[in-house]
Every structure is written in C-alpha cells, then in structure tokens.
Structure 1
C-alpha cells in the first residue's frame, strides 16, 4: 500500500510538483521520427509533463522543439507554416529557427529588434527513430543516454508510439510486474491452458512467450546505476533448473522486455497527470516489420488504435472491445499484448489511488519502482543529482533463460554492472 500523499508525489508531473521536478531532469521522447516524415512537413503539437510544445523539422531536416504559443501574441505555432529554414506563425508571420532565433517579424521589420529576441526553445535531438527533448533547467542539462536500440539497423528496428489516457505510473508498474504475464497474457504466454497443458509459444517476436507455466515466480531485486533490475524465477520440469526472466527498470520510466529473438524497449512518457505516450521500440539481429509488431500488439484493429495520431482509442464506451463470447477460448476476450496491457491500465482509472491496494510478494518489483522514484524525487528536492542521468545504456537489456542452481542470475546480463556515464 502507498500513502495518498506519496501517490500524489509520484503521479503528478506538472510544473512546480516534486514529480515534475524529477521528470524535468531527463531527456524525453516527444514524437517518433516517422511523425515528422520529411523536411518542412507539418509540425506536431506535443504535450509533455503538463505543458504544450510544438516540434518541427526544418528545411535542412533538423528538428526543433519550442513552446507552443508564439512569443508575439500567443497564437499556436502548431498551426504554423514550416518553410525556408524555420516555423512561421500564421497570425503575424513571425518566424523562428529550430534554436528559437527570431528570423523575421514582418509587422515590425526591424532586424535589430529581431536580433534581440529569442523564442523559448529547448534542446532537441533525433536518435533511434525518436525525437527527444530536454525541458529542464539548462544549467543542469545532462548528457544524452544511449540505448542499444539506437545502434540497430533500421530494418531490424520498429518504433511505435501509443497514446493512452491514464497516468504513466500505472503503465510502468504493469511493465515491471512479471507475475501478470502468465495471467493477463494467458493465450500467448501459456498456449494449451484450456486443456490444462503447457505448450511453449513458438513466436520468437512475442514478449509474452513464456518458457514456464509457473504463475507464482520468486523475485530477486538488485539496485543498479540506472535504477534496478530483477529476476523472476519460475519452476521448470527439472528441479535443478529454473527459468530466469530478467527485466531492468531505467529511471524515470523505462524498461526492457525480452522476447526470444528481440528486445522490447518501452518508455512511458507522461503527457500530463492522466495521459501517457508509450514508446515501444523493438530491435534485434534480424529484420522485423511494423506490420508484424502492430499485429502482435493487437493494434491492427482500428477500434483500438488510430495509426495516424497514435491514439489507443478503445474505452469503456464499448467495454474496450472485449468479446465475452471469445472468452470461452481466450482468457481476456481481447487480442494482443498492448491491447491487454493498455486496457488494464485504463481500467484502473485516469489516476489510480494506491492507498487501497493489497500487495503480495509477487509485487516486489512494483514496490521497488515506487521506492526508487520517491528516492529520486527526494534527491532533486535536496538539490542532489537523481539516478540514471547521461548513462551509456547499450549494455542494458533483458533476458528469459534457464538458470542452473548455484549460478548467479546477475551473470546472465553482466553489462548491467558495468553501466557508466555516456
């Protein structure tokens, strides 16, 4: 159980909140590269940590991240023209570069005036098929953290964004909760469950393809430079061997989930207190297609996902599209990993009150997420550096392997102990 006060501290991310102060110390994904498909394409309106911004790609292909409202008279730059090296406000034609430099002020055509001005712009960069921005204090700008997927060949990587109308922490906790995989994702995790038989799922792309039928994993947790990692140990037919599923938590909201042949890096970026942009990056040593991942996640059905605006669109209006008749053969009456995860997160409400829950040992990683984030917030409030700033994360991954008795689970991913500053 979490106190109501601590719940508020963790979940509120707007300006002036303790959680917001923590979040503003990190680089955040703000859109996928595919959402800005070419130079001078339409800009995007972005909500991040309770505030509105505009992101655009200029004539040379560089990305810019500015406050949404024009510094002149407050019109939205998300409606603006992107042309000739900048973004131009429709209202009076003021034009800004990706750095915020004032390029033109047509209704006051004095170059000296424009030279003295600068629009509120923020550091932005493009890596791994994602546009990232930093909106915290410039004097505290951290180095950029480097994930393994950023080095992957484009054909071996898929990047998706899924906007979900609930608080980020509900989705983070779901992702760090190993015991839910064998239950919520029963049809993918434990094929044959209807006949009380376990048949391993042969899909090497599916992160819910468990190698064990054990629904009560034993958890062991260890703090790391990037946050923590934990192992969920499941029984196998051989009493001397257990299945070990290792998952990291990367402060403030990242995780990596193993599939047999791929890694799923998931970043739960808070738009505000009750909306989250989930970035899912799938990468491995072999080609993978967006269509395959969209189908696996259940997002190929338009009643669940609007691919144009990246919104998870199912809701209580249609009971999330749940098919009760299908539940005779399908555990949830839903189809797809992300559809099941997002539906459960939404079912908890826009911002879940954790003071009413009852936890069990299988929830240890969820408790550790909260503890690590509360400690990070405390550090920021005391003007100390929070964890996981500017790290080289290329050695951080996840795995699902067999572990013989007497073998240290940490040895499965030795790169976790060697994480250093980027």
Structure 2
C-alpha cells in the first residue's frame, strides 16, 4: 500500500511538482516520425508533462519543437503555416525556425527587432522512428540514451503511439506486473484454459505467449543503474527447471517485454496527470508489419483505436466494448493485448488511489517501481543524478527462457551486468 501523500507525489507531473522536476531531466518521445510524414506537412500539437507544444518538420526535413503559443500574442502555432523553412503564426504572420529564430515579423518589419528575439525552442533528436525532445533545464541537457531498437532495420521495426486517458503510473505498473500476464491475457497466454490444458501459443510475435501455466510466479529483483530488473520464475514439468521471464524497469517509465522472437519496448510518456502517450516499439531479427502488430494488440477495430490521432477510444460508455457472450470462450470478452491492458488501466479511473489496495508477493516489482521513482525524485531534489539519466540503454533487453536449478538468472542477460549497481 502506498500512502495518499506518496501516491499524489508520484502521479502529478506538471510544472513545479517533484515528479515533474524528475521527468524534465530526461529526453521524451513526443511523437512518431510518421506523425510528421514529410517536409512542410501539418504541424502537430503535443501535450507533455502538463504543458503544450507544437512539433513541425521544416522544408529541409528538420523537426522543430516549440512552445505552442506564439510569443507575439499567444495564438496557437499548431494552426500555423509550415513553409519556406519555418512555421508561421496565422494571427500576424510571425515566423519561426526549428531552432526558435524569429525569421519574420510582418506587422513590425524591423530586422533589428526580430534579431533580438527567440522563440522558446527545445532540443530535438529523431531516432528509431520517434521524435524525442528535452524540455528541462537547458544547462543540464543529458546525453541522449540509445535503445536497441534504434539500430534495427526499418523493416524489422514497428513504432506505434496509443494515447490513453489515465495516469502514466497505472500503465507502468501494469507493464511491470508479471503475474497479470497469465490471467488478464489468458486466451493468448494459456490456450486450452477452458479444458484445463496448457498448450503454448505458437505466435512468436505475441508478448503474452507464456511458456508456463504457473499463475503464481516467484519474483527476484536486482537494482541496476537504469532502475532495476527482475525475473519471474514459473514452474515447468521438470522440477529442476524454471521458466524465467526477465523484464527491466528503466527510469522514469520504460520497460522491455519479451516475445518469442521479438522485443517490445514500451514507454509510458505522461501528457499530464490523467493522460498518457504509450509508445510501443517492436523489433527483432525478422520483418514485422504494422498491420500485424495492430491486429495483435486488438487495435485494428476502429471502436478501440483512432489510427489517425493515435487515440484509444474505448470507454465506459460501452464497457470498453466488452462482449459478455464472448466470455464463454474468451476470458475477458475483449480482444488484443493492448485492448486488455488499456481497458484495465482505464477501469482504475483517471488517477488511481493506491492507499486502498492490498498487495501480495507477486506485486514486488510494482512496489519496486514506486520505491525507485521516489528515490529518483529525492535524488533530483538533492541535486544528484537520477538512475538511467544519460545512459546508453542499447544493451538493456528482456528474455523468456528456461533456467536450470542452481544457475543465475542474471546470466540470461549478460549485457545487464555492466549496469547492475553494487
């Protein structure tokens, strides 16, 4: 159980909040590259950490990330014209470059005046099919952290964004909760559950395709410099062998989930206290298509997902589309990994009060998420560097493998050894 005070502390991300200060020390995904498909395309309004921004791709293909409201009279630049190397406000025609340079001020055409000004612009990187921005203290810009998916061939990688109307921590904790996989995702995780039989799901792309029918995994956790990683040990038919599912938590909101042939990197980026942009990147050593992942996640139904606006659209208005008749054969009455995960997160309300819960040993990783974030908040408040900041994360991964009795689970991912904290 988390106290109401700590729950409020961890969930509030706006300017002037402790977690807001922590979050602003990191680079964040702000949109997918596909949302800015070509030079001079329509700009994109972005909500991040309780503040509004505009992202645009200029005539040379460079991405700019500015405060949304024009510095002249406060009109939204998200309505602006993107042309001739910059973005132009509709109200009075003031034009800004991707770096914030004031290029034109038509209603006061004095070049000396424009030269004295600069629009609030923020550092941007475009890597791995995602546009990243840093909106924290400009004298403390950290090194950009690389993930393994950034080096994958484009045909071997799919990048999705799903906007969900609940607090980021609900989605983070769901992702770090291994015991929910075999229950919430029963139809995909444990085919044959209706007949009390277990046959492994043969879909090598599905992250819910468990190798064990054990619903009570034993967790072991180790602190690392990126946050922590843990193993969920499940029983197999051989008493001397366990199924070992290793998952990292990367401060402030990242995780990597193993599928038999692919890795799912998931980043739960807070738009504000009650809205989250979930970025999911699937990569591996074989081709994978967006349509395949969309179908797997259950997002191919327009009642659940607006692909144009990247928004999860199901709600309590229709009980998230749950089909009670379907529940005779389908555990949840829902279809798809993300549909099930997002629906559960939304069912907790926009901002869940954790002081009301009752925890069990299978929730250890969820508890560790909270502890690690509280430690990171304290580090920033004391002027110290939080975990994961500026680290090269390309060696951080996940796995689902067999582990013989006496073997160290850490050996399943030797690349994590260099990041394990003393």
Give me the TM-score of the superposition, normalised by structure 2. 0.99
- Asked if 2 retains the 8 angstrom alpha-carbon contact of 1:395 and 1:418, the reply is no
Shift of residue 399, structure 1, vs aligned partner:
0.2
Counterpart residue number, 1:43: 43
Shift of residue 419, structure 1, vs aligned partner:
3.8
Shift of residue 390, structure 1, vs aligned partner:
1.0
Counterpart residue number, 1:162: 162
String of CA shifts for 1:363-396, please: whole Å, max 9, x gaps. Answer: 0000000000000001111111111011111110
String of CA shifts for 1:257-303, please: whole Å, max 9, x gaps. Answer: 00000000000000000000000000000000000000000000000
Shift of residue 111, structure 1, vs aligned partner:
0.6
String of CA shifts for 1:227-267, please: whole Å, max 9, x gaps. Answer: 00000000000000000000000000000000000000000
Alignment of 1:214-363 (within 5 A): 214-363=214-363
Measure, in 2, the Cα distance between the counterparts of 1:186 and 1:411. 29
Counterpart residue number, 2:402: 402
Counterpart residue number, 2:371: 371
Measure, in 1, the Cα distance between the counterparts of 2:227 and 2:91. 46
How many residues matched? 420
- Asked if 2 retains the 8 angstrom alpha-carbon contact of 1:64 and 1:98, the reply is yes
Measure, in 2, the Cα distance between the counterparts of 1:395 and 1:46. 30
User: Would you say 1:122 and 2:122 are equivalent positions?
Assistant: yes
Measure, in 1, the Cα distance between the counterparts of 2:282 and 2:177. 19
- Asked if 2 retains the 8 angstrom alpha-carbon contact of 1:214 and 1:235, the reply is yes
Shift of residue 416, structure 1, vs aligned partner:
1.0
SS in 1 for 2:13: coil
- Asked if 2 retains the 8 angstrom alpha-carbon contact of 1:393 and 1:419, the reply is no
Measure, in 2, the Cα distance between the counterparts of 1:136 and 1:395. 26
Alignment of 1:175-194 (within 5 A): 175-194=175-194
String of CA shifts for 1:1-56, please: whole Å, max 9, x gaps. Answer: 00000001100000000010000000000000000000000000000000000000
Measure, in 2, the Cα distance between the counterparts of 1:129 and 1:418. 27
SS in 2 for 1:393: coil
Query: In angstroms, what is the RMSD of aligned CA positions?
Result: 0.6
Measure, in 1, the Cα distance between the counterparts of 2:123 and 2:257. 29
SS in 2 for 1:392: coil
Give the gaps of 5 or more residues in structure 1.
none
Alignment of 1:14-53 (within 5 A): 14-53=14-53
User: Would you say 1:140 and 2:144 are equivalent positions?
Assistant: no
Measure, in 2, the Cα distance between the counterparts of 1:111 and 1:170. 50
SS in 2 for 1:8: helix
Counterpart residue number, 1:93: 93
- Asked if 2 retains the 8 angstrom alpha-carbon contact of 1:64 and 1:121, the reply is yes
Give me the TM-score of the superposition, normalised by structure 1. 0.99
SS in 2 for 1:376: helix
SS in 1 for 2:249: strand
String of CA shifts for 1:135-177, please: whole Å, max 9, x gaps. Answer: 0001111000000000000000000000000000000000000
